[in-house]
Amino acid sequence: MRISRGVLVVAGLLTLTSGAKPCIVGGTVTSVTEAPWVIALNTTQSNSSSGRYCGAALVKPDKIVTAAHCMDEATSTYYAVQGRADLGDPTVGRVSAISKVWIHPGYNTKNNRYDIAVLTLAKPFTGVPVLPLETRARADAAGAVPTVYGWGETQDTGPDETLQKAAVPDLGDKTCLANKSYVANGYAAATNVCAGYLQGGTDACQGDSGGPLVLNGRLLAVVSWGEGCAQPGNPGVYAEIAPVAKALEAQLRQDR
């Protein structure tokens, strides 16, 4: 079973899992002070009372980057939340509606390549540190250890609806390309990052889609898909930023 980390993909059919129990499997609780640029991309269509749906990264005061596959509801239903580590506490953090959505033109649901979208905030999060884009393809290198952030499912390894992080080693493209199922489902060295643990135990999961994979203070990639969560032999697949950086930068220059 192939899982996009915000939706289930079973026999080629998308089934929403917004009602799934919402954090990263095997991660640790972190704070919005440490990661102020981590955004919860919520929707009024979520089955969770908090609105939890996907993750994103603030890359400009009025722009966030997320996964294209997260954008399967009407734009008017989405809202971005900044500064709220516990999604169950609406008394903290800042909220903005989404005024515009750009999905990478190369994205398609058959192989999930170019699984990246840029969203424009109706109300900019001014004064909040932003996360620069990683523009160097060589940053995706086996041995690097980026960190993934999100509010997705924990599988009982952490508290619900609370921001978590996990270090997930970059395994290099060869690792995922050696997995026949991953290749069949569209993994490509040119557009993806393969990261996690071959023994399993720590991984992004459902609800983490679009959340940032951060290396050296830059947005290396966003959570895209995987087979199961934290299962041995099935690391996480992330949509890489560097190959699409020019297209993203063009969107960041666009006005609201």
> Which residues are catalytically annotated?
69, 115, 209
Cα–Cα distance measured from residue 67 to residue 145, given in angstroms and rounded to the nearest whole number: 21
What Cα–Cα distance (Å) separates residue 123 from each residue in 63, 64, 73, 130?
10, 12, 20, 15
Cα–Cα distance measured from residue 242 to residue 72, given in angstroms and rounded to the nearest whole number: 24
Residue 229 class from Cβ within 10 Å (0-12 exposed, 13-18 middle, 19+ buried)?
buried
What are the structure tokens assigned to 14, written together? 């998308």
CA 216 from centroid of its chain's CA atoms:
17
